Amino acid sequence: MKTSRRISEIPMSGIRKMFDLAGPDSINLGLGEPDLAPPKEAVEGMNRAALQGLNKYAPTMGLPQLRQAVAERFSVYGEITADNVMITPSGSSALLEVAMGMVDPGDRVLVPSPGFVIYGPHAQLVGGTYDEYRLTETFQPDIEDIKSKIMPSTTMIVVTTPSNPTGGVLTEESKRALLDLAEDHDLTILADEVYCSFVYEGKHVSFMDRLDKAVVVNGFSKMMAVTGWRLGFICANMEAMGPLMKMQYHVCASPGMPAMYGVLNALPTIDPYLDEARATYKRRRDLITRRINEIPGFSIAPPQGAFYAFPKFDLDVGSEELGNTLARNGLICTPGCYFGKYGEGHLRFSYAASEERIEAGMDMLSKVITEGRWKRCPTTTTRTHTSSEGTTQRRTRSRPSSNTSSKTTTRGSR
């Protein structure tokens, strides 16, 4: 049976191979799935809706009362109304709908590297192309690198804050620089802000106040620990929202009704739940940061947001080989090379897991590294960072060559 060339050109998930290497009792720090229970109000609201027969098609843009509730909650970041909000069947499908609705064949999209793995493939699936821009040592967009990669065909820059996989949080300075580029080159910023509820130092810097230049994707899966409900939302200006609504109709007709009622029931009183969740993740962040920095050859600064640790390592081994070795020993993580060419030399660990599992995982990481034959190495990989004086400097570190393909390997979940 014939399948399309567009999907055959998208590489299959490499993460599955690591799960196949691991045994049934493996410690899974590879998936970004909260282990917390959802707010009881969310579960009660969804169950009540289903029992009351609210199991029908919803409006294409989602329940009007949920769109209004989203606008009220997120108006702290900008002047938005329900007309600027469309509920979507997951944040991932929202990202695809934006690509389908705003990227033409031949358009070029700039995506962060390291960054979430579906941005580039989405551009390819709609006939566009993509290029990876590097991040600085502190995981801010490297503005000079972005400038060097803007071409006449470039139409969009993707930004993630807080970041999966790095845990980096965008600064106001970086936001201004990106908006300057968008204005100078007539570009759209696609801002993925699904982890905005989990910032541990500073504040979340959103693009919702600049819908003239940006489309924002967000969601409820991480916020409410309901990854299986598949609900997100798009925030856009009226010019973009019409085509996006048309695209959503042809993709799914409408989001699921019972889950929307669940989110609607929980959203107005969500803050105490989020305060407790942030405190839990921050304790886990501090634990995994301390444990990683105790391991020879590994180093990490405390992630500022999301729930991922993305340490770098100075060992003469590639991230995929190291990740496979860990999986065979019962620890699942994600090799940095799966998040783009600039992710090599890193591993991603999710700390959306209990402290006991984090401790056990770090015990295994320490054991494998201590007993391994890998040597510390001096390098060839250069990354940029911004100094305290505000000037751009370069740090050079040694990095083993990777046996992986230059194409980013995709995976199905965050």
Count CB-CB contacts under 10 A for residue 286. 13
Q: How far is CA 317 from CA 106, 219, 324, 364, 398, in A?
A: 37, 36, 11, 17, 11
The verdict on pTM exceeding 0.85 is: yes
Q: Residue with structure tokens 């510390």?
A: 376
- Looking at domain 40-269, its CATH class is alpha beta
What is the residue-wise DSSP string for 305-344?
BTTEE--EE-BSS-HHHHHHHHHHTTEE-EEGGGG-GGGT
Q: Which pLDDT score is estimated for 387?
A: 32
Report the Cα 411 to chain-centroid distance in Å: 12
Q: Which pLDDT score is estimated for 414?
A: 60
Phi/psi for 317 (5° steps) reads -150, 145
Q: Which pLDDT score is estimated for 379?
A: 54
Rg of the chain on CA atoms, in Å: 21
Q: Residue with structure tokens 């700390």?
A: 351
Helix (H) or strand (E) holding 44: helix 40-51
Q: Per-domain residue ranges for the chain?
A: 5-37+272-397, 40-269
Q: What's the one-letter identity of residue 89?
A: P
| d(C-alpha 241, C-alpha 100), whole Å | 13
Q: Which of 256, 305, 241 is nearest to 80 (CA)?
A: 241
**38-90 confidence digits (pLDDT tens):** 999 999 999 999 999 999 999 999 999 999 999 999 999 999 999 999 999 99
E strands, 22-169, are 27-28, 85-88, 108-113, 129-134, 154-160
Q: Which pLDDT score is estimated for 111?
A: 98
Q: What's the one-letter identity of residue 199?
A: V
- Angle of helix 271-293 versus helix 355-371 axis, rounded to 10: 20
The sign of the CA dihedral 386, 113, 282, 323 is negative
Contact 91, 223 (CB under 8 A): no
Low pLDDT (below 50) residues in the chain: 380-412
Q: Which pLDDT score is estimated for 141?
A: 98
What is residue 8's three-state secondary structure?
helix
Q: Which pLDDT score is estimated for 390?
A: 34
Helix (H) or strand (E) holding 17: helix 15-21
> Does the bond joining 89 to the residue before it have cis omega, within 30 degrees of 0?
no
Q: Which of 294, 160, 141, 296 is nearest to 222 (CA)?
A: 160
**309-347 confidence digits (pLDDT tens):** 999 999 999 999 999 999 999 999 999 999 999 999 999
Q: What's the one-letter identity of residue 290?
A: R
CATH topology (fold) of 5-37+272-397 = Aspartate Aminotransferase, domain 1 (3.90.1150)
How many contiguous H segments (helices) and E segments (strands) does the chain have? Answer: 13, 16
Helix (H) or strand (E) holding 385: strand 381-386
E strands, 222-375, are 232-235, 298-299, 308-309, 312-313, 331-332, 334-335, 347-350
Q: Which pLDDT score is estimated for 10?
A: 86
Please give the structure tokens belonging to residue 352.
Answer: 């959306």
| d(C-alpha 107, C-alpha 176), whole Å | 24
| d(C-alpha 397, C-alpha 383), whole Å | 8
Q: Which of 185, 183, 157 is nearest to 170 (CA)?
A: 157
Q: Which pLDDT score is estimated for 289?
A: 98
Q: Residue with structure tokens 């590297």?
A: 113
Contact 109, 367 (CB under 8 A): no
Q: Which pLDDT score is estimated for 16?
A: 64
Q: Could you write out the three-class secondary structure of 134-185?
A: EECCCCCECHHHHHHHCCCCEEEEEEECCCCCCCCCCCHHHHHHHHHHHHHH
Q: Which of 196, 234, 243, 197 is nearest to 215 (CA)?
A: 234
Q: Which pLDDT score is estimated for 388?
A: 31
Q: Which residues pair with 335 in a beta bridge?
A: 347
